[in-house]
Structure 1
Amino acid sequence: MKLRSRYPFYIAIFVLIAGGIGLATARHVQLGIPWLAGEQQPVWMVEARIDFEAVGEEVLVSLNVPDSPPGFRVLSQQAASPGYGFSLIEESGDLRAEWSIREAEGPQTLYFNVQLTPDESSHVPPPSEAPDPEAVFWEEPEATAVAEILERAAAKSASPESMTRELIKLMQSSDPDQNIALLLNSDNYVTLLHRMLNHAGIPARVADGLQLEDARRLQPLRAFLQIHNGERWLTFHPETGQQGLPDNVLLWRQDAVSLLDVMGGEDSQVSFSMLQQTVPALQLATREGGQNGLGLVSLYELPIEEQGMFRMLLLLPLGALVVAFMRIIIGVRTSGTFMPVLIAVAFVQTSLVPGLVAFLSVVTVGLLLRGYLSSLNLLLVSRISALIILVIAITTGISIIGYQMGFNTGMTVTFFPMVILAWTIERMSILWEEDGAREVLVQGSGSLFVAVLAYLLMDAPLARHLTFNFPELHLVTFGLVLLMGQYTGYKLSELKRFRPVKEFS
Structure 2
Amino acid sequence: MSRLPFYLIVALLMVAGIAMSIHRHVQFEVPWTPGEQRQVWEIEAQVIFDGNGGPAKVDMALPSSQPGFRVLTEHTASPGYGLSFLQEAGARRAEWSTREATGDQRLYYSAQVLVTDDLRKASEAPAVTKLQEVAWERPYDTAAEQVISDAWSHSSDASTFTRELISEFTDERQGENARLLLTQFDRVPLLVRLLNQAGVPAQEVSGLMLEDGRRRQSLTSWLQIYDDGRQMLFDPTTGVQGRPDNLLMWENAGQAVLEVEGGSNSRISFSMLSRNQPAAAAVRSQLAEDNDTLLNFSIHSLPLEEQALFQTILLIPIGALVVVLLRVLVGLKTSGTFMPVLIALAFIQTSLLTGLVGFLLVVATGLVIRSYLSHLNLLLVARVTAVIITVIAIISIFTVVSYRMGLNAGLTITFFPMIILSWTIERMSILWEEEGPKEVLKQGGGSLITAVLAYLAMNNPWIRHITFNFLGVQLILMAMILLLGNYTGYRLLELRRFKPVTED
With structure 1 as the length reference, what TM-score do the two structures score?
0.90
Q: Could you tell me whether the CA contact under 8 Å between 1:60 and 1:100 is conserved in 2?
A: yes
Q: Secondary structure at the match of 1:51?
A: strand
Q: Could you tell me whether the CA contact under 8 Å between 2:324 and 2:481 is conserved in 1?
A: yes
- Aligned letter for 2:449? F
Q: Could you tell me whether the CA contact under 8 Å between 2:203 and 2:254 is conserved in 1?
A: no
Residues 9-408 of structure 1: matches in 2 within 5 Å? Answer: 9-119=6-116, 120=118, 121-125=120-124, 127=126, 131-172=129-170, 174-291=172-289, 292-294=292-294, 298-408=298-408
Q: Which segments of 5 or more consecutive residues in structure 2 lack a partner in the other structure?
A: none
Q: Secondary structure at the match of 2:9?
A: helix
- Looking at structure 2, the residues matched to 305 and 123 of structure 1 have their Cα atoms a distance apart, in angstroms, of 33
Q: Secondary structure at the match of 2:259?
A: strand
Q: Secondary structure at the match of 1:392?
A: helix
- Looking at structure 1, the residues matched to 422 and 85 of structure 2 have their Cα atoms a distance apart, in angstroms, of 65
Quote how far apart the aligned CAs of 1:189 are.
2.0
Q: Could you tell me whether the CA contact under 8 Å between 1:30 and 1:293 is conserved in 2?
A: no
- Looking at structure 2, the residues matched to 126 and 110 of structure 1 have their Cα atoms a distance apart, in angstroms, of 25
Deviation digits for residues 205-228 of structure 1 (CA, Å, limit 9, x no counterpart): 111111112232111111111110
Quote how far apart the aligned CAs of 1:159 are.
1.8
Q: Secondary structure at the match of 2:63?
A: coil
Quote how far apart the aligned CAs of 1:387 are.
2.7
426-435 or 337-346, which deviates more? 426-435
- Looking at structure 2, the residues matched to 106 and 126 of structure 1 have their Cα atoms a distance apart, in angstroms, of 35
Cα 1:286–1:294 change in 2 (3 A) is farther
Q: Could you tell me whether the CA contact under 8 Å between 1:72 and 1:122 is conserved in 2?
A: no
Q: Which segments of 5 or more consecutive residues in structure 1 lack a partner in the other structure?
A: none
Quote how far apart the aligned CAs of 1:378 are.
4.3
Deviation digits for residues 285-329 of structure 1 (CA, Å, limit 9, x no counterpart): 443434421587533444444444333222211111110011101
* Pairing 1:490–2:490 present: yes
Cα 1:94–1:338 change in 2 (3 A) is closer
Cα 1:97–1:311 change in 2 (3 A) is closer
Q: Could you tell me whether the CA contact under 8 Å between 2:24 and 2:296 is conserved in 1?
A: no
- Aligned letter for 2:350? T
- Looking at structure 1, the residues matched to 102 and 342 of structure 2 have their Cα atoms a distance apart, in angstroms, of 72
Q: Could you tell me whether the CA contact under 8 Å between 1:126 and 1:233 is conserved in 2?
A: no
- Looking at structure 2, the residues matched to 189 and 249 of structure 1 have their Cα atoms a distance apart, in angstroms, of 20
- Looking at structure 1, the residues matched to 218 and 472 of structure 2 have their Cα atoms a distance apart, in angstroms, of 47
Cα 1:72–1:308 change in 2 (3 A) is closer
- Aligned letter for 1:461? P
- Aligned letter for 1:48? A
Deviation digits for residues 237-284 of structure 1 (CA, Å, limit 9, x no counterpart): 122322221122111122233222223322222212223344443334
- Looking at structure 2, the residues matched to 79 and 306 of structure 1 have their Cα atoms a distance apart, in angstroms, of 31
Q: Could you tell me whether the CA contact under 8 Å between 1:45 and 1:116 is conserved in 2?
A: yes
- Looking at structure 2, the residues matched to 82 and 37 of structure 1 have their Cα atoms a distance apart, in angstroms, of 40
- Looking at structure 2, the residues matched to 126 and 57 of structure 1 have their Cα atoms a distance apart, in angstroms, of 34
487-496 or 178-187, which deviates more? 178-187
Q: Secondary structure at the match of 1:293?
A: coil
Runs of 4+ in 1 over 6 A off after TM superposition: none
- Looking at structure 1, the residues matched to 385 and 105 of structure 2 have their Cα atoms a distance apart, in angstroms, of 79
* Equivalence for 1:452: 452
- Aligned letter for 1:113? S
* Equivalence for 2:475: 475
- Looking at structure 2, the residues matched to 501 and 172 of structure 1 have their Cα atoms a distance apart, in angstroms, of 91
Q: Could you tell me whether the CA contact under 8 Å between 1:49 and 1:270 is conserved in 2?
A: yes
- Aligned letter for 1:232? R
* Equivalence for 1:8: 5
Quote how far apart the aligned CAs of 1:456 are.
0.8
Q: Could you tell me whether the CA contact under 8 Å between 1:31 and 1:295 is conserved in 2?
A: no
Cα 1:327–1:255 change in 2 (3 A) is same
- Looking at structure 2, the residues matched to 384 and 312 of structure 1 have their Cα atoms a distance apart, in angstroms, of 28
With structure 2 as the length reference, what TM-score do the two structures score?
0.90
Deviation digits for residues 84-111 of structure 1 (CA, Å, limit 9, x no counterpart): 3332333333433233333433333222
Q: Could you tell me whether the CA contact under 8 Å between 1:27 and 1:294 is conserved in 2?
A: no
Cα 1:339–1:260 change in 2 (3 A) is closer
Quote how far apart the aligned CAs of 1:500 are.
4.7
- Aligned letter for 1:72? F
12-21 or 445-454, which deviates more? 12-21
Deviation digits for residues 463-505 of structure 1 (CA, Å, limit 9, x no counterpart): 223333333421221221111110001112233344454555x
264-273 or 379-388, which deviates more? 379-388
Q: Secondary structure at the match of 2:309?
A: helix
- Aligned letter for 1:22? A
* Equivalence for 2:415: 415
- Looking at structure 1, the residues matched to 121 and 94 of structure 2 have their Cα atoms a distance apart, in angstroms, of 22
Cα 1:150–1:477 change in 2 (3 A) is same
Q: Could you tell me whether the CA contact under 8 Å between 1:346 and 1:416 is conserved in 2?
A: yes
Cα 1:184–1:303 change in 2 (3 A) is closer
- Aligned letter for 2:38? Q
- Aligned letter for 2:487? Y
Q: Could you tell me whether the CA contact under 8 Å between 1:47 and 1:111 is conserved in 2?
A: yes
- Aligned letter for 2:147? I
- Looking at structure 2, the residues matched to 437 and 10 of structure 1 have their Cα atoms a distance apart, in angstroms, of 43
- Looking at structure 1, the residues matched to 445 and 196 of structure 2 have their Cα atoms a distance apart, in angstroms, of 82
Q: Could you tell me whether the CA contact under 8 Å between 1:64 and 1:256 is conserved in 2?
A: no
361-370 or 472-481, which deviates more? 361-370
- Looking at structure 1, the residues matched to 55 and 128 of structure 2 have their Cα atoms a distance apart, in angstroms, of 40
Deviation digits for residues 345-401 of structure 1 (CA, Å, limit 9, x no counterpart): 111121110110111112222333333334445444444333333322222222222
Cα 1:432–1:99 change in 2 (3 A) is closer
Quote how far apart the aligned CAs of 1:435 are.
3.3
Quote how far apart the aligned CAs of 1:179 are.
3.5
294-303 or 263-272, which deviates more? 294-303
